[in-house]
Chains A and B, each alone.
Chain A
Amino acid sequence: MQNRVRELREGTGLSQGELGERLGVSRQTINSIENGRYLPSLPLALALAHCFATIVEDIFIQEEEKWNPRTIQSVER
């Protein structure tokens, strides 16, 4: 899974440490997320989205067809 955390963070001028501090995680964890080594939990992903004033789908991009939201037929209500 690819993500835009580095791009969004650099856009705001925050360092990895500063972003980590805002989210209550370490600088190493932000670095791991940016490099795609660590996939954050849903609460942390939501917190990231909130921090960058966007939605999770704008930050994390699913590559595999299986779980791509664009290919999953939604349930009609």
Chain B
Amino acid sequence: MEPTHHSIRRALSAVVLATGGLALSAAIWASGNHGFAAGVLSFYGVASIVTYRWAGGRGDVAAILSTRPDERQRGLDRDATAISGLAVTVVALVGAVVAVARTGNPGDFGVICLVSGASYVIALGAMQRRR
């Protein structure tokens, strides 16, 4: 593999993290909370550096972070993503139930439940066509 390609792949996760952090910090800054924006920017900056360094290692996480996983590591990534999605859905469901009981409206939790359910159905349909 060419060194340039390796460097790009290694930096990809860190760049995504830094970009997300920059966007979030800019939004917080625009809302007027400049101190918190600086804190968030610092946190994401450190997280990006740690991610970049971790992606240069040799373990499973490094391979996943640097977008060069093999089939087992892709499976690990897929399972972890599915479990984290499930965790978010469970929390959103519990939150929606509590919100309905307190206010009569599921609020933002309802939106997350809706997106979670709809995306699952769409993903299942798309996957059925592939397998």
The finding on whether chains A and B are genuine partners in a shared complex, rather than unrelated, reads: yes
Number of A-B contacts (CB under 8 A): 24
Q: Are B70 and A32 in contact (CB under 8 A)?
A: no
Confirm or deny: B116 has a beta carbon within 8 angstroms of a beta carbon on chain A.
Answer: no
In the assembled complex, the Cα of A25 lies from the Cα of B71 at a distance in Å of 8
Confirm or deny: A44 has a beta carbon within 8 angstroms of a beta carbon on chain B.
Answer: yes
For A24, what are the chain B residues with a Cβ–Cβ distance below 8 Å? 70
Confirm or deny: B42 has a beta carbon within 8 angstroms of a beta carbon on chain A.
Answer: no
- Among B60, B70, B72, B73, the most chain A Cβ lie within 10 Å of the Cβ of B72
A68: min CB distance to chain B, Å: 25
8 Å CB contacts to B: which residues of A25-49? Answer: 25-29, 32, 38, 40-41, 44
For B63, what are the chain A residues with a Cβ–Cβ distance below 8 Å? 26
Number of interface residues of B (CB under 8 A): 8
For A27, what are the chain B residues with a Cβ–Cβ distance below 8 Å? 58
Confirm or deny: B104 has a beta carbon within 8 angstroms of a beta carbon on chain A.
Answer: no
B73: min CB distance to chain A, Å: 7
B53-69 Cβ-contact flags toward A at 8 Å (1 or 0): 00000111001000000
B59: min CB distance to chain A, Å: 7
B67-92 Cβ-contact flags toward A at 8 Å (1 or 0): 00011110000000000000000000
In the assembled complex, the Cα of A27 lies from the Cα of B59 at a distance in Å of 9
Q: Which residue of A lies closest to B75 (CB)?
A: A38
Q: Are A44 and B59 in contact (CB under 8 A)?
A: no
In the assembled complex, the Cα of A52 lies from the Cα of B93 at a distance in Å of 51
Please list the residues of chain A having a beta carbon within 8 angstroms of any beta carbon in chain B: 24-29, 32, 38, 40-41, 44
What would be 21 A-B contacts, judged by CB atoms less than 8 Å apart? A24-B70, A25-B70, A25-B71, A25-B72, A26-B60, A26-B63, A26-B70, A26-B72, A27-B58, A28-B59, A28-B60, A28-B73, A29-B70, A29-B71, A29-B72, A29-B73, A32-B72, A38-B72, A40-B72, A41-B71, A44-B71
Q: Which 3 A-B pairs have the closest CB atoms?
A: A25-B70, A29-B72, A38-B72
Known: A29-B71, A40-B71, A41-B71. 5 other contacts (CB 8 A): A28-B60, A28-B72, A28-B73, A38-B72, A40-B72
